[in-house]
């Protein structure tokens, strides 16, 4: 694994695990998307408020390993004020990047690119993609 990518992964993951972005239960949110991994028990909920096809606010809460928590934190941070069409592209890009698309990694921002290091640990890919996959399924239904 590229040493710079490994260092970035470690830094981003620890930063978002210790101080996650918008880590708060918003039970009154109009949209609540569960993300659950029955194999390891990681469980988060995304709390979204969408108006005029734009994410007005996004929060998350739950528990899981550092990778799933940090990845969900990055997702919530990136989706703030994003139109749904751009959110679909963001999610698809992240998921493709974790399937070894080197072009996407090279052109992704640091926070997203850091999680490409999870490819070196296939058993942890589900952790990195848990909330992204849940959101992807929600967007496909919309």
Residue at token pair 């799933």:
68
- φ, ψ of residue 44 to 5 degrees: the values are -135, 160
Structure tokens at 38: 């029955």
Give me the domains of the chain, ranges plus CATH numbers.
3-141 (3.90.1010.10)
Neighbours of 63 (CB within 10 A): 10
Q: Are 70 and 52 in contact (CB under 8 A)?
A: no
Q: What is the pTM assigned to this prediction?
A: 0.89
List the single range of 29-43, 44-58, 107-121 with lowest mean pLDDT.
107-121
Cβ atoms 91, 135 nearer than 8 A = yes
Q: How far apart are CA 54 and CA 7, in angstroms?
A: 34
Q: What three-state secondary structure class fits 53?
A: coil
**pLDDT tens-digit readout, 68-113:** 999 999 999 999 999 999 999 999 989 988 886 565 566 667 888 8
């Amino acid at each position: 694994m590229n040493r710079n990518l490994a260092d970035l992964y470690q830094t981003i993951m620890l930063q978002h695990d210790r101080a996650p972005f918008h880590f708060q239960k918003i039970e009154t949110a109009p949209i609540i998307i569960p993300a659950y991994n029955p194999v390891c028990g990681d469980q988060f909920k995304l709390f979204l408020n969408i108006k005029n096809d734009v994410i007005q606010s996004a929060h998350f809460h739950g528990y899981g390993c550092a990778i799933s928590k940090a990845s969900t934190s990055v997702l919530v941070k990136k989706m703030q004020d994003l139109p749904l069409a751009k959110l679909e592209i963001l999610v698809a890009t992240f998921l493709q990047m974790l399937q070894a698309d080197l072009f996407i990694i090279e052109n992704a921002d640091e926070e997203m690119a850091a999680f490409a290091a999870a490819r070196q640990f296939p058993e942890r890919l589900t952790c990195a993609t848990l909330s992204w996959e849940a959101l992807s399924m929600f967007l496909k239904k919309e």
